Structure 1
Amino acid sequence: MLAEPRLPRRALFRAAGLLVASTAPLAVPAGQGQAELPYPARVQVFVANSGSDNVTAYDTRLGQSRIVPAVGETPVGVAVNNFGDRVYVTNEAANTLSVIDARSLTVVDTIPVGSNPFGVASRPVVNRAYVADFGSDTLSVIDTSTHTLMTAIPVGMFPHTPVVGHGGICVYVTNNGSKSVTVIDTRTNTVVNTIPAGLYPSGIDLNPSTGLGYVANTGDDSVTVIDTYTAAALGTIPVGQAPLGVAMAPSGLVYVANQMSDTVSVIDTKTHFVVATIPVGDQPEGVAAMPDGSYVLVTNNASNTMSMIDPATNTVVNTVPVGSNPEGIAITY
C-alpha cells in the first residue's frame, strides 16, 4: 500500500489499479515594476492567480510585471494561442473562460463554459480552445474566432488538464477521478480512446519527437508514460510527492512540479530516470518551458511566486513575486 499523500483540493478519489494497454488506437501521422511593454515580443509569461482573481503578465527580458485585473473568480488555467495575441484563462468559480488581448492586457470577452473549468489548451493554427470542465465531466470546445462554445464532449470523471497533440489532430485530457486519459479526435469532436493512468492524473505534456506523453499522478507520486500512437500506458516513473504540473523542455527533459515536496523532478526522456530534483517555492503547481530553452518556469501556490530555473544547471536563478495563489502558467513571444 502506498502511504496516503496530502492531496490538492481537486483530487477527490482514491482507488487501486494496474496499468493495462488500451485497444483501438487512433491512427495519427508520425513525426515588479509597472511599465508599458512593447508587443508582441516583450510580454512573455502569463500566470493565473487563483487567490487574487487576476493574471500576472511578466516580461522575462525586462524583469517587469503587469496585472490583468478583470478576469473571473478563481482563475486557474491559462493558455496562449498560436499567434501569441490572445490569452485564455479559465475561471473555476465563475464557470467562464476569459479572453485577454496580449497587446493591451485587457479582457476582451468572457465565454460561458462547463462547471468548474480547470485546464485549457489552444489548438495550433485552427481557431479552437479546449477547456477541461472539472465539475461537469466534459471538455468544452471553443471557437476562438467567434468566442462561442461549439460543443461539450463527455470525458472521464473530473477532467483536469488538456493538451493538443499530433499537429492538432488529437486532444488528450487527464481525468482526475477516473485514473485515465481521454483521447479526442478534433476533426469530429469525438472520443476515440481511453488510456489508463495512475491515481489522480493531473498535468500532462507530450514529446512531439517520440509520440510519448507524460502524465503526473498526484495520488501515487508518479508519472505515467503513455504511447500516443498505440494508446497504451508503458509504465511509471517515481517522482516527488503529489506531482501536478508537467512541461516538456526543448532539451528533451521533462519537468514535474511536486506540490507537497516543494520540488521539481527532472526526467530524462531517453532513460526515463529522474536525473535532478530542484527545490523551488512552497507548493509548486504549474510548469512551463521557454521555447528558446532559456528557462523553465514554476508557479509556487503557497509562496505567491514564480521560480525561474536555468535548464543548463537545473538550479533556480530567480524568484519573481506574482499574485495570490498562482496556478496555471503559459508563455508567448
Structure 2
Amino acid sequence: MVTHESAKRKLLVLVGPTAVGKTRLSLEIAESFGCEIISGDSMQVYRGMDIGTAKATKDERSRILHHMIDIHDPDYPFSVAEFQDRSRTLIEQISERGRLPFIVGGTGLYIESLCYGFQFSDAGSDEAFREEQLAYLKSKGEQALHDKLRQIDPPTAERLHPNDHRRVIRALEVAHLTGIPMSQHLAGQRKESPYDLCLIGLTMDRQLLYKRIEDRIDQMVEEGLVEEVKGLRLLGYGDDLVSMQGLGYKEITAYLRGELSWEDAIVLLKRNTRRFAKRQLSWFRHMKDIRWVDVSETSNFSKHLLTINDIIAGKLISPTEYTS
C-alpha cells in the first residue's frame, strides 16, 4: 500500500547566506545523489548578469545540469509566483527522469514558498496604488518608501532591502488591499510541505563569513564586474530595473554615474552584502525543518560533505557512492 507520505516527490534543498560555500558543496552532493540543480536565486534567472550574481561557471554547470539560470533578459519582471510554477514543473520532470530535484540558493521567500506551497494570489492588485508609491519613491527616495513599510510591517521591512522597490511596493500594496501586513499573511500559510523534504542550511562564524564576502567582492571586481555592468547599461537596461538594483549592480552603477568614488562604491557594496547575508540568515533561522551544518572550518570540506551526505541518506535516499 502506498502511503500519502511516500507518494510525495522527494526534494533536496540547500540554503545559506551568500559566500558561505553552497556552490562547491552542491556540486559534490549532486554527483553523489544523482541530482539536477534548480537555482533558488531570484537574480540568476537573468542573462548577462553572471559575475554579480555569482552563477555557477560553465565548467561547473557542465558537471551537473542546472535549471532556472539565464531564462530571462534583465528587463523581465520575474516573480515568486513564476518561480513556484516553473520549479514545481521542474521537480516533476526531474523526478520522472529518476533524478533527485535539488534546490540550491539563498532567496528565502522563493525557497520557502516553494517548499511549503505558499499562495500569493488572494490579495489582488491596485495599479493606481502602485503608481502612487512609484511617484512617492521618485519624489522622496527609496529610504522614505522603505520607512513607510517599516511603519506598517516591520518584519517584512527587515527582510527587504530599501532598493528592492518592487517587493517593497508589493508589500505595501498587500497591506493596503487586505488590511493585513504581508508578514502576517506568510505566518498564516500552511507549514506542511507537499514534498518529502530534506532541508539543509549552511552556517558559519559571522566574522569569517564577512571576510569571505569581502574577498568574493574583490574577486568579482577582478573578474570584470565593472565591465559587466557597463555592458548591461550599453544594451539599454535602465538603472531603475529590479535586476539593475541588485547587489553589485546598483553600487557599480552609482560609481559609473559619478555619484560615488570607486573606494566608496566598494565599501558600500561590501556593507550592503554583509547586511544582506544577515537578512538571509535571519529568514532561514525562522524556517522549520532545516538541519544546520556549521562550515566554519573551511579546511574540513570532506568532513562537512560527509555530514551532509549522512543527513540526506538518513532522510531521502542512499547516494550512489555510499556502500555503508
Name the TM-score, length of structure 1 as normaliser. Answer: 0.25
Larger radius of gyration: 2
More helix by share: 2
Name the TM-score, length of structure 2 as normaliser. Answer: 0.25
More strand by share: 1
